[in-house]
Structure 1
Amino acid sequence: MTRASISLRPDNATDLLIDGKLIPGSGGTFEVVNPATEEVIGQAAEGTSADMDAAIDAARRAFDQTDWSRNHAFRAHCLRQLRDALLAHADELRELTVAEVGCPTFLTHGPQLVGPITDLGYFADLAESYSWTTDLGEASPMGIKNRRELRAEAIGVVGAITPWNFPHQINFAKIGPALAAGCTVILKPAPDTPWCAALVGKVIAEETDFPPGVINIVTSTDHLLGAQLCTDPRVDLISFTGSTDTGRKVMAAAAPTLKKVFLELGGKSAFIVLDDADLGAACSMAAFSVVTHAGQGCAITTRLLVPRETLGAAVELTKNAMAGLAAADPTRPGTVCGPLISARQRERVEEYLRLARDEGGVIEVGGGRPADQEKGFFIEPTLISGLDNSARVAQEEIFGPVLVIVPHDGDQDAIDIANDSPYGLSGAVWGTDPDRINAVVDGVRTGTMGVNGGIWYSADVPFGGYKQSGIGREMGVAGFSEYLEIKAVATPV
């Protein structure tokens, strides 16, 4: 159906989306703050436990009492409708996303906005092209001839709990494949970035044909609502992205109901430079990567491993590159490093900088708040040297524009250092010899690896980690499959 285009600018406060209706939060509203200016830019609906209960009930009914899970073509239609409507609002969403998230504007042309919206089309196509049944042919167990087939079916009601750093990308990486698979969804976004979810809810309610209850969005500052999703027996799967510590709590909360849990968690990824690499290009890329969006990305490479004999040169090259990427207004053209999301997050990063000094580290560049930024939650791009891989700043996820440079003594030592981490989410290697590069790629226990600047992010590429970086994969056919159950059917011949 065709509807008139709406304005996404909140006049007062955004609403919850529950059972197909836009409604105020039962708890009133809470403030939305621009992290670059520290100004309150609006209000979001404060959802309560009662609101979450209503959203779960709506999703359960929509799954159990409609043909949503079986009507593959209609699901594809709704997802394409949402993609097209959001792209029509791209300029509004770009301005509001930069204001709420604090991300540099250039990122909204990629993973902060347009990329994830476009990815909805991939999952719409997958809903139509996926092999929902698989013929296993005939067999004769116990002498009885049977024809067997496998049927892929939606797992049911999905509770999606998402963070603030790349809200559109992570929201759509969950709701896109879940809806395409035939699930119904309750999305609980981070309280730091509620508009990125709530405004999508407005588009869904007013410009698409999604049936009531299929997708519900509950914004709130109450983290107990996430726990409510985890414990409620009406929810069949929890898809969570966030810190490893919180991921453990999600698993524990979901355990009594034995619901499936998908976890995309933390990282402390290594950027490995081999001794035959272009050192200047590698160090420049490592610097650019770690300051992008102020380092607020779980897959960002935050440990730079360089040959010991070139450590001094690598420090100078990386320091100079980071000095040219100053923290600045995210709306200014050319800005790569914007603010951190909140005062709380800035204090966390500052504590790690104090810790690095206490452990004997050298702050080669940065190390504090920029002198030219009177407002905003900014931290200077910072390079730390003088520590080995056992230091806490080399082991723990900081989530800021902070890079730790560590020397290695050859390819195998670099692999060993990269693997000396509780995480295994991402990584990079720079070199010239293909055999040595492949040995590093094979040796590092991580979910993704970029070679000489290669970019793995795409709708069709599964994303996830080893070890304490998570369970399962997001995106691609593997991510789509997370939302499916397999039913075996046998019929006598």
Structure 2
Amino acid sequence: MSDVVDEQSAPSVALGLRAAEHAETRMLIDGELVAAASGAEFANISPATGRELGVTAAAGAEDMDRAIAAARRAFDESDWLANRALRRRCLEQLQSAIEGDSELLREELIAEVGCPRMTTQNAQLDWPLADALRYPARLIDEFEWERTLDGGGLFGERNVRTVVQAPVGVVAAICPSNFPVEVILNKLGPALAAGNTVVLKPDPNTPWNATRLGRLIAEHTDIPPGVVDVVPTPSNEVAALLSNDPRVDLISFTGSTAVGKHLMRQGADTMKRMFLELGGKSALIALDDADVGAAVRGALGICVHAGQACAANSRMLVHRSLFEPIVAALTIAFETVPVGDPTLPETLVGPVISAAQQARVLEVCERGQRAGARLVTGGGRPEGLSGHLAGGHFLRPTLFITEDSANPLAQEEVFGPVLTVLPFDDDDQAVRMANDSAYGLAGAVVSSSLDRGMAIARRVRSGVFGVNGGMFYGADAPFGGVKNSGVGRQCGVEGFRQYLETRTIAYRAPRKR
């Protein structure tokens, strides 16, 4: 059984009370912080305790319509898309405002996301805060917005063509619950820097970080009314207005593959552009020359934030010569990983986001076992949780082994602290097994030979890949997947281009003498 980091003084409850005291419960529409037109609200539930933290305004169809109209008007009628200096200044103001609220935001994330405190020091908060807005703000000045082509005229006339990069228009940014601030900032930054307007729809499980950003935008920046609208809602029908409305030009979605496919179908009638960052079933490959300790440390990534990361390596492919020692070391590691209260600095595995997700993880594990996977350690809820944590959505770090690549645990995205280990006999088989997936988001390899590791990396079909612990994360590095893992890229120049249209303008000019 995993060591449980239990609570004596109910720190998660105290944190929840503090988060509720400082939370922004209103949405941002057309520059104003407002309640829902109907007055409706919905509960924000703590994943660590199962208790209500507080409430948030629940947008209805009227609110969503008003937000889309405001974003459309701001794009069509204001000088936002043409005024690059204003865009850069506003992003710098927002950066400063978030930094001023960063510690409140950190505590809010731990309370509503259930993420362990240590994760806020990297991808949950500190990493995106460092460059998610700064990088696209810098691109406003550095990007090649226009280029000129000469030639191709008729009747001896000089023909000049100017290729212009222009904003797409109104962007619907639909964000997940697992890394909400990281995803929101990496959507807002390039979308706004490129000159678009944005309707932001946060996940209903984690609305307060987005509504807080709405308040900071309204109170601390010169972002014009309607350029950013923050519209939380628990209603799928209300959210669907974003994909159906012809006034919305682009859907920028991060979440499950099933929902991504549904959005593509919904957006087809209005020919919406799509950026979809979806699920994954990434493989960590330990070659026969891998250091066992390094391989095990890499595999523990599935335990961080209870495995709720699309790029997490939830499969581990191990050369048969190292299979037994690596499984033995993983067993010890999984049984000693600290599980429990996310407020505590030593906790690595906090709760999953909801009771529904907890049930789904257990259901996939059960199907995997019925299909022949062997449970090595973990499974079910951790023992020893008491008091307020007893109602939380916790799961034990869970390790399975199987020889069958078709097993549900080797094919489906579990989105929990569950690792499935499979043996292989040579490098070619490892690559075939890694590519034997409907997904293609991430992956990794451990080898004592960099050349060998790089050769594996170039053969595995994934959008990002790590060799010997290499980190692909950063606002300057494109992130996204192939196959069922999505369409397009987030971050980098490639991610910036996601929010731009290419236009060609031609004119006749006198011949050069």
Same fold flag (TM > 0.5): yes
Match of 1:405 in 2: 421
In the alignment, the residues of structure 2 paired with residue 142 and residue 238 of structure 1 have an alpha-carbon distance, to the nearest angstrom, of: 44
Map 1:238-387 → 2, pairs under 5 A: 238-286=251-299, 288-373=300-385, 374-387=390-403
In the alignment, the residues of structure 1 paired with residue 98 and residue 143 of structure 2 have an alpha-carbon distance, to the nearest angstrom, of: 25
Match of 1:231 in 2: 244
1:55 aligns to what SS in structure 2? Answer: helix
Q: Cα deviations across residues 226-250 of structure 1 (Å, max 9, x unaligned)?
A: 2110010001111111111111110
- Alpha-carbon offset, residue 492 of structure 1: 1.1
In the alignment, the residues of structure 2 paired with residue 490 and residue 50 of structure 1 have an alpha-carbon distance, to the nearest angstrom, of: 42
- Alpha-carbon offset, residue 299 of structure 1: 0.3
User: Could you list the runs of 5+ residues in structure 1 that have no partner in the other structure?
Assistant: 1-6
Checking the alignment, whether the CA contact within 8 Å between 2:331 and 2:399 is kept in structure 1 is yes
Map 1:203-218 → 2, pairs under 5 A: 203-218=216-231
| 2:464 alignment partner, one of 432, 435, 448 | 448
Matching of residue 24 in structure 1 with residue 40 in structure 2 = no
| 1:95 alignment partner, one of 87, 92, 107 | 107
- Alpha-carbon offset, residue 188 of structure 1: 0.7
- Alpha-carbon offset, residue 284 of structure 1: 2.3
Matching of residue 70 in structure 1 with residue 82 in structure 2 = yes
Matching of residue 156 in structure 1 with residue 169 in structure 2 = yes
Point out the more displaced range, 326-335 or 75-84: 326-335
- Go from structure 1 to structure 2 and tell me whether the alpha carbon gap of 1:193 and 1:333 turns closer, same or farther (over 3 Å shift): same
Checking the alignment, whether the CA contact within 8 Å between 2:67 and 2:229 is kept in structure 1 is yes
Name the aligned partner's letter for residue 262 of structure 2: K
1:125 aligns to what SS in structure 2? Answer: helix
Match of 1:492 in 2: 508
Name the aligned partner's letter for residue 377 of structure 2: V
Matching of residue 476 in structure 1 with residue 499 in structure 2 = no
In the alignment, the residues of structure 2 paired with residue 473 and residue 178 of structure 1 have an alpha-carbon distance, to the nearest angstrom, of: 13
Checking the alignment, whether the CA contact within 8 Å between 1:13 and 1:42 is kept in structure 2 is no
- Alpha-carbon offset, residue 25 of structure 1: 1.5
1:32 aligns to what SS in structure 2? Answer: strand
| 2:62 alignment partner, one of 47, 50, 64 | 50
Point out the more displaced range, 483-492 or 184-193: 483-492
| 1:14 alignment partner, one of 25, 28, 31 | 25
Q: Cα deviations across residues 152-186 of structure 1 (Å, max 9, x unaligned)?
A: 11010001111100000111111111001000000
Checking the alignment, whether the CA contact within 8 Å between 2:372 and 2:407 is kept in structure 1 is no
- Go from structure 1 to structure 2 and tell me whether the alpha carbon gap of 1:141 and 1:289 turns closer, same or farther (over 3 Å shift): farther
Q: Report the number of matched residues.
A: 486
In the alignment, the residues of structure 2 paired with residue 76 and residue 8 of structure 1 have an alpha-carbon distance, to the nearest angstrom, of: 31
In the alignment, the residues of structure 2 paired with residue 16 and residue 50 of structure 1 have an alpha-carbon distance, to the nearest angstrom, of: 13
2:458 aligns to what SS in structure 1? Answer: helix
Name the aligned partner's letter for residue 164 of structure 2: R
Checking the alignment, whether the CA contact within 8 Å between 1:425 and 1:446 is kept in structure 2 is yes
Name the aligned partner's letter for residue 308 of structure 1: R
The percent identity for this pair of structures is 46
In the alignment, the residues of structure 2 paired with residue 450 and residue 472 of structure 1 have an alpha-carbon distance, to the nearest angstrom, of: 20
Checking the alignment, whether the CA contact within 8 Å between 1:59 and 1:214 is kept in structure 2 is yes
- Alpha-carbon offset, residue 117 of structure 1: 2.5
Match of 1:199 in 2: 212
Checking the alignment, whether the CA contact within 8 Å between 2:113 and 2:353 is kept in structure 1 is yes
In the alignment, the residues of structure 1 paired with residue 454 and residue 154 of structure 2 have an alpha-carbon distance, to the nearest angstrom, of: 45
Name the aligned partner's letter for residue 59 of structure 1: A
Checking the alignment, whether the CA contact within 8 Å between 2:233 and 2:239 is kept in structure 1 is no
Runs of 4+ more than 3 Å apart: 7-13, 137-144
Root-mean-square deviation (CA, aligned residues, Å) is 1.4
- Alpha-carbon offset, residue 220 of structure 1: 0.7
2:213 aligns to what SS in structure 1? Answer: helix
1:465 aligns to what SS in structure 2? Answer: coil
2:171 aligns to what SS in structure 1? Answer: strand
Q: Cα deviations across residues 404-447 of structure 1 (Å, max 9, x unaligned)?
A: 00001111100000000000000001102233212211110000
User: Could you list the runs of 5+ residues in structure 2 that have no partner in the other structure?
Assistant: 1-17
Q: Cα deviations across residues 431-466 of structure 1 (Å, max 9, x unaligned)?
A: 022332122111100000011111110000000001
Using structure 1 for the length normalisation, give the TM-score.
Answer: 0.96
Match of 2:13 in 1: none
Using structure 2 for the length normalisation, give the TM-score.
Answer: 0.92
Match of 2:441 in 1: 425
2:340 aligns to what SS in structure 1? Answer: coil
2:193 aligns to what SS in structure 1? Answer: helix
Name the aligned partner's letter for residue 370 of structure 1: P
Matching of residue 392 in structure 1 with residue 405 in structure 2 = no
Name the aligned partner's letter for residue 384 of structure 1: F
1:152 aligns to what SS in structure 2? Answer: strand
Match of 1:79 in 2: 91
In the alignment, the residues of structure 2 paired with residue 153 and residue 390 of structure 1 have an alpha-carbon distance, to the nearest angstrom, of: 45
In the alignment, the residues of structure 1 paired with residue 136 and residue 506 of structure 2 have an alpha-carbon distance, to the nearest angstrom, of: 30
Match of 1:4 in 2: none
Checking the alignment, whether the CA contact within 8 Å between 1:151 and 1:488 is kept in structure 2 is yes
- Alpha-carbon offset, residue 142 of structure 1: 6.3
- Alpha-carbon offset, residue 326 of structure 1: 3.0
Checking the alignment, whether the CA contact within 8 Å between 2:373 and 2:407 is kept in structure 1 is no
- Go from structure 1 to structure 2 and tell me whether the alpha carbon gap of 1:117 and 1:150 turns closer, same or farther (over 3 Å shift): same
1:309 aligns to what SS in structure 2? Answer: helix
1:250 aligns to what SS in structure 2? Answer: helix
1:468 aligns to what SS in structure 2? Answer: helix
In the alignment, the residues of structure 2 paired with residue 324 and residue 142 of structure 1 have an alpha-carbon distance, to the nearest angstrom, of: 79
Point out the more displaced range, 211-220 or 225-234: 225-234
